[in-house]
Amino acid sequence: MFTREIDFESVGRSLQLKQEVEGDVGCVVWDAAIVLAKYLEVREKGKRKLLKGSSVVELGAGTGCVGLAAALLGASHVTLTDLPELLPLLKINCAQNTPNIHGVAEVQQLTWGNTHQIQAIEVPDVILLADCIYYGESLEPLVSTVRSLSSSTTTVIMSYELRTDGNKPELQRKFFDLMEEYFTKERIPEQEHHSTYRSEDILIYEFRKR
pLDDT tens-digit readout, 56-89: 999 999 999 999 999 999 999 999 999 999 999 9
Residues 6 or more apart in contact with residue 130 via CB below 8 angstroms: 30, 32, 33, 36, 37, 58, 60, 62, 65, 66, 158, 159, 160
pLDDT tens-digit readout, 138-195: 999 999 999 999 999 999 999 999 988 888 899 999 999 999 999 999 999 999 999 9
Give one DSSP letter per residue of 177-202, joined into a string: HHHTTTEEEEEPPGGGS-SSS--TTE
Record the pTM.
0.95
- The percent of residues above 70 in pLDDT, for the chain, comes to 96
Q: Please give the pLDDT value at position 102.
A: 83
CA distance linking residue 176 with residue 133, whole number of Å: 10
What SS3 class is residue 107? strand
Q: Please give the pLDDT value at position 77.
A: 98
Burial class (CB in 10 A: 0-12, 13-18, 19+), 128: buried
- Amino acid identity, position 190: E
Point out which residues pair with 3 in neighbouring strands: 18
What SS3 class is residue 128? strand
CATH number where 142 lies = 3.40.50.150
- The percent of residues above 90 in pLDDT, for the chain, comes to 86
The domain total for the chain is 1
pLDDT tens-digit readout, 156-167: 999 999 988 888
Parent domain of 25: 2-209
Q: What is the pLDDT averaged over residues 116-124? A: 98
On the question of pLDDT at 27 being above 70, the answer is no
What SS3 class is residue 104? strand
CA distances from 42 to 4, 51, 71, 127, 129 (A): 21, 11, 15, 17, 17
On the question of pLDDT at 46 being above 70, the answer is yes
